[in-house]
């Protein structure tokens, strides 16, 4: 293990040293930066994808804000002159060691590389005066969010249609603990909510202002693009929606952006593969975050608690297939940015009833990220997951991500 970590650290130090003298820039080039003319960090706290107040407002407004980019306008028409998109370049190298398994043959070390790990094109653009979309396309619509928003007296409200692996709140999710905006250095991996997410699609009604974002969604699960009910790119044989409620408040206190939220999902749905088989979606969660500066350093702290009801003999809860115990979990992690280009992260999470014998799964993570540009970062990430009375899986990953 020490040799593996030393090799990975040495690789990262050499890579960083080779370009550390290169200047950084505030001019970002991904899709939304092109549309708005704003830097990536105008919307993101510390680094992509965590959101700050401006980023939350931009999403609540259906991604429609414009900068100097020209529009094609006419009656009932307001389109950017170009389709804004970004290519994801993400080489990734990892080493995974399994130890402590009761089956000796499973105690192995595996090394892998992927160039690139994400074969994705990101589309993000205004559709019209009140409508916009964010799409991740990997030959299927792996993540599809089409948002429509209108300004009312003191708040924004609208409707979102979505299909994503980020969970049932993705129709209008603005927090950064789990889901779409919790992915900084893979930190959401320790989140209890993220660990129990299922690929979901549906429709969300939302209302939001500077203080609170509230939504009610009708959601249905799916195995993912190309699988089961095929929400990811085709017709579904049958559907039945479960209601889901999400509230997230984000007051500013003492210079910190605080956040506290709740999630409640409970209802029956059809199985993603068998059109007539009725399952259920039942879980609730609370989450909290704080983002601000301490001693001139940017600090972000994120935590959540989740509970998924056990399945019964006639319906499987897609968040918890166990029929003997509820599935609960919690997590906490912190990111600190002591210098302009460096971010350090540490987190811990635990799931109870996460495996068949209802044993605990304990996981922790440490990571460091160096930012060449706002749209080009390199991260060294170490994840450790241990099953009580079972195996420990330790993975060290060198992740290089550029958006162009």
Any domain includes 49? no
Q: Rg (Cα) of the chain, in Å, rounded?
A: 21
148 and 297 in a single domain? The answer is yes
For residue 286, what are its two tokens? 């609370």
Q: Give the model's pLDDT for residue 313.
A: 86
Let me know if residue 143 belongs to a domain: yes
Write down the mean pLDDT value for the chain.
87
Instruction: Please give the average per-residue pLDDT across 151-172, as a whole number.
Output: 94
236 shares its domain with 97: no
Q: What is the pLDDT of residue 110?
A: 97
Query: What phi-psi label fits residue 154: left (phi over 0), alpha (psi between -120 and 50 degrees) or beta?
Result: left
Residue 198 lies in a domain: yes
Does residue 396 sit within a domain?
Answer: no
Does residue 110 belong to any structural domain of this protein? yes
DSSP string over 243-270: EEEEEEE--EETTEEEEEEEEEEEEEEE
> What's the pLDDT score for residue 6?
41
pLDDT of 14-55, one tens digit each?
333 333 333 332 223 478 888 888 888 899 999 989 999 999
Identify the domain boundary among 100, 127, 154: 127
Q: How confident is the model at residue 323 (pLDDT cuts 50, 70, 90)?
A: confident
15 and 146 share a domain? no
Q: Mind listing the pLDDT tens digit for each residue in 119-160?
A: 889 998 899 999 999 999 888 888 899 999 999 998 999 999
Which letter does DSSP use for residue 109 in this model? E
Note whether 119 and 138 are same-domain residues: no
Query: Are both 276 and 136 inside the same structural domain?
Result: yes
For residue 114, tell me if it sits in a domain: yes
Residue 219 belongs to domain spanning: 130-356
Residues 365 and 384: their CA atoms lie apart, in Å, by 6
Note the pLDDT of residue 8.
43
Q: What is the pLDDT of residues 344-366, one digit of tens each?
A: 999 999 999 755 555 789 999 99
Confidence of residue 269 (pLDDT cuts 50, 70, 90): very high
User: Nearest 5°: phi and psi at 180?
Assistant: -60, -35
Query: 75 with 170, same domain?
Result: no
- What percent of the chain stands above pLDDT 70? 88
Whether 172 has a pLDDT exceeding 80, the answer reads yes
d(CA 232, CA 162): 10
What average pLDDT score do residues 258-283 get? 91
Q: Mark whether 144 and 35 lie in a shared domain.
A: no
Find, among 195, 199, 164, the residue nearest to 177 by Cα: 195
The answer to whether 165 and 39 have CB atoms below 8 angstroms apart is no
Cα of 197 vs its chain's centroid, Å: 10
Domain assignment of residue 361, yes or no: no
What pLDDT was estimated at residue 119? 86
Q: Say how many domains are in the chain.
A: 2
**With 80 as the cut, is the pLDDT of residue 2 above it?**
no
Retrieve residue 380's tokens: 């060294």
For residue 337, pLDDT over 80 is answered with yes
Last residue of a domain, one of 127, 144, 161: 127
Sign of the CA dihedral with 189 first, then 195, 199, and 204 last: negative
Task: List Cα–Cα distances, 196 to 60, 191, 307, 320, 336, in angstroms.
Answer: 25, 9, 10, 8, 26
Same domain, 139 and 114: no
**Statement to judge: residues 107 and 199 lie in one domain:** no
């Amino acid at each position: 293990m020490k040799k593996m970590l030393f090799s990975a650290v040495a690789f990262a130090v050499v890579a960083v040293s080779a370009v550390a003298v290169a200047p950084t820039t505030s001019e970002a080039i991904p899709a939304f930066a092109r549309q708005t003319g704003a830097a990536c960090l105008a919307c993101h706290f510390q680094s992509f994808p965590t959101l700050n107040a401006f980023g939350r407002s931009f999403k609540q407004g259906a991604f429609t804000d414009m900068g100097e980019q020209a529009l094609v306008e006419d009656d009932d028409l307001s389109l950017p002159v170009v389709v804004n998109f970004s290519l994801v370049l993400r080489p990734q190298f990892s080493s995974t060691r399994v130890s402590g398994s009761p089956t000796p043959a499973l105690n192995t070390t595996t090394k892998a590389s992927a160039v690139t790990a994400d074969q994705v094109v990101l589309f993000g653009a205004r559709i019209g005066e009140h409508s916009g979309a964010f799409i991740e396309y990997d030959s299927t619509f792996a993540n599809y969010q089409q948002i429509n928003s209108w300004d009312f007296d003191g708040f924004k409200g609208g409707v979102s249609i979505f299909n994503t692996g980020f969970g049932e709140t993705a129709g209008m999710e603005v927090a950064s603990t789990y889901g779409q905006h919790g992915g900084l250095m893979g930190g959401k991996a320790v989140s209890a909510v993220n660990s129990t997410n299922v690929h979901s699609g549906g429709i969300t009604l939302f209302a939001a202002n500077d203080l609170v974002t509230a939504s009610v969604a009708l959601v249905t699960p799916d195995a993912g693009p190309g699988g089961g009910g095929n929400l990811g790119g085709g017709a579904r044989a049958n559907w039945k929606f479960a209601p889901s409620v999400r509230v997230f408040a984000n007051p500013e206190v003492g210079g910190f952006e605080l956040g506290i939220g709740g999630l409640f999902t409970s209802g029956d749905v059809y199985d993603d593969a068998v059109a007539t088989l009725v399952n259920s979606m039942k879980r609730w969660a609370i989450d909290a975050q704080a983002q601000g500066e301490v001693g001139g350093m940017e600090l972000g702290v994120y935590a959540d608690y989740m509970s998924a009801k056990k399945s019964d003999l006639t319906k499987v809860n897609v968040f918890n297939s166990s029929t003997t115990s509820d599935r609960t979990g919690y997590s906490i992690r912190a990111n600190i940015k002591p210098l302009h280009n460096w971010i350090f992260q540490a987190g811990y999470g635990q799931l109870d009833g996460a495996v068949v014998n209802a044993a605990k799964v304990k996981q922790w993570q440490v990571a460091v990220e160096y930012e060449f540009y706002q749209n080009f970062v390199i991260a060294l990430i170490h994840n450790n997951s241990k099953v009580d009375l079972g195996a420990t899986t330790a993975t060290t990953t060198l992740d290089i991500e550029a958006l162009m």
